[in-house]
Structure 1
Amino acid sequence: MSNTAGVCGLGSRGSEPVPMGSMTLYPVPESVSRARRWFRKLTDRHKLSCSVDDCVLMVSELVTNAILYGEAEEPWRVRVEWWRVGSALRVDVHSPGLPSHVRMREARTEDVHGRGLGMVDMLSDSWTAGPSPFGGTMVSFVVDDAWL
């Protein structure tokens, strides 16, 4: 598991990304549970062979981070997109703010926050953070062999 630079090649193995779905969410706490429900519902028909529960947890963590750390002077939204790239699943979460602010922390036992990217790092095959094509930040994770 590693933070892999360059979203284009993430999990691609030479395959073009095929869009599978997306959602746009308000930057409010209720959007985290909405993201979990909708991701599960909208990916169900695609018969993923990876752990959907792990993917839902990672989506939840990235949407939470986007809501907590997104910064904009005007109204904004969190955008979640998921792609099939060969046999891999790639999920992108877009929010406003600076990509340089994304970092994995070492949370202490008593810390309430600070474990999200660590979980994404453990559960995904790779992840990355960088500029979003919409402006702001995009954090992505890839699960290899999501389809057998």
Structure 2
Amino acid sequence: MAYMVDRYPCEESPRLGAMTLHPVPESVPRARRWFRRFIAPYNLACSVDDCALMLSELVTNAIHHGGSDEPWLVRVEWFKDGTSLRVEGHSPGTPAHVSLRHAGADDVHGRGLLLVDSIANSWHAVPSRFGGTAVVFVLDDAGPQEE
């Protein structure tokens, strides 16, 4: 299997969905498409476009900066956290190596976390429960709307 998408619509679980992706450039647009498809039924109170953009930055950074001597995958999960939406991107690497850069005008790369920083209410990097690093962003008052 090239990839996997998990959905957990169970009321007891705050996890709304997850996907596992190969660390290849094609995974970035795939992650955006799947996120849009699987988050749609939850009727977010925030911009799905903003979420998809930030999610794609997490996946892009994981692909470019993650890595291992062993085969590895990128895992993305999204959760209802009270009234907030929390999105996590997991990959190999060390959280200490994750930092906000200010790219120069001629730099092709280096703006991903700057975008996340400017849109999300908060973000941080922590050790992943899967091993490696989790980069997490939170959007306050964005969680799924009650119908």
TMscore range, shorter length: 0.7 to 0.9
Determine which of 89, 93, 97 is the counterpart of 1:97. 93
Structure-2 separation of matches of 1:100 and 1:43: 30
CA distance in 2, matches of 1:77, 1:71: 9
Q: Cα–Cα, structure 1 residues 103 and 17, in superposed 2: closer, same or farther, change >3 Å?
A: farther
SS in 1 for 2:64: helix
Match for residue 139 of structure 1 among 110, 135, 142: 135
**Residue 36 in structure 1 maps to residue 32 in structure 2:** yes
Query: Alignment length, in residue pairs?
Result: 133
Structure 1 residue 17, shift from structure 2 partner: 7.2
Residue identity over aligned pairs, in percent, reads: 61
CA-atom RMSD in angstroms: 1.3
1:91 Cα deviation from its structure 2 partner: 0.2
Give the partner amino acid of 1:140. Answer: V
Letter in 2 for 1:115: R
Structure 2: 5+ residue stretches without partners = 1-11
- Of 12, 15, 18, the match for 1:19: 15
Q: Does 1:119 align with 2:109?
A: no
Amino acid at match of 1:46: Y
SS of the residue 1:45 aligns to: helix
**TM value normalised by structure 2:** 0.88
| TM-score (normalizing by structure 1) | 0.87
Unmatched runs of 5 consecutive residues or more in structure 1: 1-15
- Deviation of 1:77 after TM superposition, in Å, equals 0.2
**Residues 51-72 of structure 1: per-residue CA shift (max 9 Å, x gap):** 1100000000010000001120
Match of 1:62 in 2: 58
Higher relative contact order at CA 8 Å, sep ≥6: structure 1 or structure 2? 1
